[in-house]
């Protein structure tokens, strides 16, 4: 155990855990200050807020006496698993690109393209003629392919025109937002049956297409969880194997470390840059497909004014996991848990759910300084050239060096 924590991987894990701990402490301090300074909350209410931040996922509401009650909450835990699906996938998207030396800020656009492709396929193929399971698989693959094609565009610009991928991704994000809005605007998938939901696309259950529950609804009854979380975990494991155990993964990381040295070694750097962004885009598209094919989610088609938060939230998830595909699973679950905790704060106390955003912001800020934290943990200091005039000169034996 001591050997593990003295390694780079161990120090990275400790740095992430320290970032989480400090973020939670800061959140508790904010809750206490806000509670003490607000007469409507009082010290008791502030203490309840602290309890919810630390253990909100296990809150079962309030008992007859009005006190917070605790225990296994299947609904909250199931919803945490459900909401973590897109976070895990977009976190993987950012992490895989970063492993190859690229910063994929285009996950929101890739997510939107995956949303459009998966929903249109799922709603356009009649379930009376094809099995719903087959439609689900085709729609899921369509979302992956759409995300991959959209992610490959910044990769092509980077590889062949040397255009910074961040700038290219920002442009493709907004192009995707306007394009998806236009496509749904001219389509017949808008929910016109319910007058109050004319801005939404039909749920996929409209066509009898929904992700299989696989018994998870019985374990976490009352929640939205389905088998998509298992798909997300399997994809994370597959990405870990790809990056760390295959020749392709080695080539991708080599291009990320030094593109020119990789080319000198015979690795096709341009191909790998495009492939890396395509894989990242496919993962974002897969996250969108898993979320919207659940059957219980409604997509607001007028997206040109904003980009999906799930795409941007993948960045802190990847940072917190130190871009490790397996770590992304846990950081995605943790971020999703904080979202559930925020809802608990709003429903059970006088606090606002956005306090959890403060916690996430602090954690992300500290994660960006993970290298400094790792150096502090290892006790290393910057090596600076020093001259010591009192140092004893090296001994030189007579007769010169021995053969």
Question: For the segment 253-304, what is each residue's pLDDT rounded down to a tens digit?
Answer: 998 888 888 888 888 999 999 999 999 999 999 999 999 999 999 999 888 8
Who's near 54: CB < 8 A, 6+ residues apart?
24, 28
The tokens describing 44, both together, are 């008791």
What is the structure's pLDDT at 320? 87
Residues 6+ apart with CB under 8 A from 78: 216, 217, 219, 220, 221, 222, 223, 224, 225
380 has pLDDT over 70? no
Cα angle vertex 355, ends 353, 357, to 5°?
95
How many C-beta atoms lie closer than 10 Å to residue 5's C-beta? 13
pLDDT digits (tens, 9 = 90+) for 296-336: 999 998 888 889 999 999 998 998 888 899 999 999 999 99
pLDDT at 127: 92
Residue of 393 and 222 predicted with greater confidence? 222
Q: Smallest Cα–Cα separation from 325: which of 98, 106, 151?
A: 98
Name the pLDDT band for 401 (thresholds 50, 70, 90): very low
Burial of 171 (0-12, 13-18, 19+ CB in 10 A): middle
pLDDT at position 47 over 60: yes
Residue entry with tokens 């991704």: 169
Q: Tell me whether residue 282 is exposed, middle or buried, using C-beta atoms within 10 angstroms of its C-beta: 0 to 12, 13 to 18, 19 or more.
A: buried
pLDDT at 199: 80
Rounded-to-integer distance, Cα 312 and Cα 193, Å = 32
Q: What is the pLDDT of residue 396?
A: 46
- What average pLDDT is seen over the chain? 87
The residue ranking higher by pLDDT, 339 or 369, is 339
pLDDT at 350 over 90: no
Q: What is the CA radius of gyration of the chain?
A: 25
How would you classify the pairing of strands 200-201 and 59-62? unpaired
Q: What is the pTM of this model?
A: 0.88
Average the pLDDT over 61-65 and give the result: 86
Query: pLDDT-derived band of residue 144, with 50, 70 and 90 as boundaries?
Result: very high
Poorest-pLDDT segment among 84-98, 210-224, 265-279, 386-400: 386-400
Token pair in block for residue 225: 């969880």
Among the four given CATH numbers 3.40.50, 1.10.287, 3.30.160, 1.10.3470, the one describing domain 74-336: 1.10.3470
Bigger pLDDT: 56 vs 353: 56
Asked if pLDDT for residue 54 goes beyond 60, the answer is: yes
Query: pLDDT at position 381, please?
Result: 45
Q: Is the pLDDT of residue 161 over 80?
A: yes
Q: Which residue has the tokens 């053969």?
A: 403
- Read off the tokens for 329: 């699973």
User: Per mean pLDDT, which range of 71-75, 196-200, 217-221 is the poorest?
Assistant: 196-200
The CATH 1.10.3470 domain(s) of the chain lie at: 74-336
Q: What is the pLDDT of residue 8?
A: 65
Residue, of 197 and 384, whose pLDDT is higher: 197
Q: How confident is the model at residue 389 (pLDDT cuts 50, 70, 90)?
A: very low
């Amino acid at each position: 155990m001591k050997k593990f924590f003295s390694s780079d991987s161990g120090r990275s894990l400790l740095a992430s855990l320290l970032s989480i701990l400090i973020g939670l402490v800061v959140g508790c301090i904010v809750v206490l200050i806000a509670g003490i300074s607000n007469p409507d909350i009082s010290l008791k209410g502030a203490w309840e807020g602290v309890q919810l931040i630390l253990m909100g996922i296990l809150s079962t509401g309030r008992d007859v006496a009005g006190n917070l009650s605790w225990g296994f909450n299947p609904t909250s835990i199931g919803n945490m698993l459900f909401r973590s699906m897109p976070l895990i996938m977009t976190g993987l998207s950012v992490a895989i690109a970063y492993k190859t030396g690229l910063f994929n800020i285009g996950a929101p656009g890739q997510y939107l393209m995956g949303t459009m492709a998966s929903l249109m396929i799922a709603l356009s193929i009649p379930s009376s003629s094809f099995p719903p399971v087959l439609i689900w698989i085709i729609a899921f693959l369509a979302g992956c392919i759409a995300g991959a094609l959209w992610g490959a565009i910044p990769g092509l610009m980077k590889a062949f025109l040397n255009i910074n991928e961040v700038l290219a991704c920002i442009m493709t994000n907004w192009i995707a937002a306007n394009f998806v809005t236009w496509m749904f605007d001219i389509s017949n998938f808008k929910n016109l049956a319910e007058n109050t939901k004319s801005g939404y696309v039909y749920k996929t259950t409209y066509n009898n297409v929904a992700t299989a529950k696989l018994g998870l609804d019985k374990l976490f009854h009352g929640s939205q969880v389905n088998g998509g979380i298992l798909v997300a975990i399997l994809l994370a494991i597959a990405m870990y194997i790809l990056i760390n155990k295959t020749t392709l993964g080695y080539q991708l990381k080599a291009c990320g470390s030094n593109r020119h040295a990789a080319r000198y070694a015979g690795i096709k750097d341009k191909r790998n840059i495009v492939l890396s962004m395509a894989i990242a885009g496919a993962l974002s598209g897969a996250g969108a497909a898993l979320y919207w094919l659940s059957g219980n989610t409604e997509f607001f088609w007028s997206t040109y004014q904003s980009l999906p938060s799930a795409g941007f939230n993948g960045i802190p998830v990847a940072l917190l996991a130190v871009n490790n595909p397996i770590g992304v699973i846990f950081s995605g679950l943790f971020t999703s848990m904080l979202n559930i905790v925020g809802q608990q704060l709003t429903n059970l106390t006088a606090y606002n759910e956005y306090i959890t955003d403060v916690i996430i912001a602090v954690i992300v800020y500290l994660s960006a300084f993970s290298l400094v934290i790792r150096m502090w943990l290892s006790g290393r200091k910057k090596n600076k050239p020093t001259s010591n005039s009192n140092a004893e000169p090296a001994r030189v034996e007579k007769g010169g060096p021995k053969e």
